[in-house]
Structure 1
Amino acid sequence: MKTRIMIIDDDSKLNRMLNKYLSQYAYIVDSYTNPLEAIEALENDEPSIIILDVMMPHINGFETCKRIRKISDVPIIMLTARGDVSDRIAGLESGVDDYMSKPFEPRELVARISAILKRTERQISPKKEKGILEYGNLRIDLSAGRAYLSGIPMELTQGEMSVLSLFARHPFNVMDRDAIQNELNGSDWDAYNRSVDVTVSRVRAKLGDDPKNPSYIKTVWGTGYMFIAEPPN
């Protein structure tokens, strides 16, 4: 079964170029210049991955991503001419999986598409039942803001629970420190007195996770962290 890619970008010329280039790799490409039409199409036929521009008429890429996330967990690569930190944080908040700054090298886009597809192929979706995520002996109740390890409630601060929930909602995605910092700033947590790394360290300790041989949270040197726990079969 061939991989289908949806491109959402108001630049028709770029869409034609990407369609021609990606077709060389046996990808089936659907292009949309209107994000509202793309969202409507997505409700009926979900692609394997979405390439999404930021600056578009009707609604921008961030809002488009938020609307997509209400109906689908399809991987999204965001294209942006503005590569500053605030844009990356806004994208992560809205649910994107990766970023590329314009102009970009098409070969790099293909490499990123391939990497994301390989990751999602090996990733088993966690059990979701009324806001419940399960990974082995870890159970997270998102609606109640509680976590349980081997059935025993974990004693987590609000900030620690926010970080654990963030990781568990995005397994096998690299979470950079900016995204984690932003998550913590929204909780009852003094972001100016405690570092992201200290908070992650506390969560690891309460999970009984060994940083050198992790079962839950892996350090991605120079970037951030990745949640690597597998859901139950």
Structure 2
Amino acid sequence: MKKILIADDNRQITDILKQYAEDEGFTVYTAYNGRETYDLFTQHDFAMILLDVMMPEMDGFTVCRKIRETSMVPIIMVTARGEDYERIMGLEIGADDYIVKPFAPIEVMARIKAILRRIDRKFDAKLNEQARDFDNLSVNLDTFSATIADIPVPLTKKEIEILYILMEYPNKVFTRDNLLDHVWGYEYYGDTRTVDSHIKRLRAKLEEYDHPHWNITTVWGMGYKFEVKK
């Protein structure tokens, strides 16, 4: 059975979600503060972490940052309704998805299963070629790493996946929906603003390095492409 961790200081929420997750066949661990969440993460191999933003002792953002120092385990952040900065911050520091309170437990289960199915499909594909290189840029999906002129570029998992997809088809325009399908999966419930936010942060990071022969450009009214300059 796959193990998931549900972290929220509201015991009513954790109890309900635990019951739903166990009914789906998961082995469920629960945590009620950030420190307990991180301690459990270090002790178990979780397939998924559902992480509330507002928790005592250590908030969800801090926990997510600490986890991302050593692991790419899928993380869904739970944010407050109307707090857009929480969703943006969660994606910025490496969360895979977010869900807004109040929510229906069945929706949470759908999000969890969608992400796990996408990961399973990628694993089953067993692609021989997991690296892309162009000019001074290298991206590797096996290690989730990127370099420009052999200098490591600190990108999140999603930023690396976006860059990899764009590099795979130079000068091809990807619509926002295309990128949602390729990177987040067909079952993703979010909207295209998620793509725009990730592209904006990705470009800001890449602009810190010299790359005169390529760039990620916006094709107005259509989407984005990895532009190769002659």
Fold match, TM over 0.5? yes
Paired amino acid for 2:22: S
Paired amino acid for 1:110: M
Q: Is 2:224 the partner of 1:206?
A: no
Aligned-pair CA distance for 1:7 = 0.7
Preserved CA contact (<8 Å) 1:162 1:183: no
Aligned-pair CA distance for 1:93 = 1.3
Give the percent of matched residue pairs that are identical in Structure 1 and Structure 2.
30
Preserved CA contact (<8 Å) 2:37 2:63: no
Q: Distance in 2 between matches of 1:164 and 1:16?
A: 31
RMSD over aligned Cα, in angstroms? 3.6
Spell out, residue by residue over 1:168-226, the C-alpha distance to the aligned partner (whole angstroms, 9 max, x if none): 2567534510222234345459xxxxx9624997752329xxxxxxxxxxxxxxxxxxx
Aligned-pair CA distance for 1:31 = 0.2
Q: Is 2:218 the partner of 1:197?
A: yes
Preserved CA contact (<8 Å) 1:10 1:34: yes
Preserved CA contact (<8 Å) 1:51 1:79: yes
Mapping of residues 22-171 of structure 1, within 5 Å: 22-124=21-123, 134-135=130-131, 140=138, 144-146=147-149, 167-168=159-160
Q: Is 2:179 the partner of 1:173?
A: no
Paired amino acid for 1:145: I
**TM-score between both structures, scaled by the size of structure 2:** 0.65
Q: Distance in 2 between matches of 1:111 and 1:177?
A: 24
Preserved CA contact (<8 Å) 2:20 2:106: no
Preserved CA contact (<8 Å) 1:163 1:180: no
Count of residue correspondences: 181
Aligned-pair CA distance for 1:19 = 1.1
Gaps of 5+ in 2: 140-144, 165-181, 185-193, 210-215
Aligned-pair CA distance for 1:100 = 0.6
Paired amino acid for 2:199: I
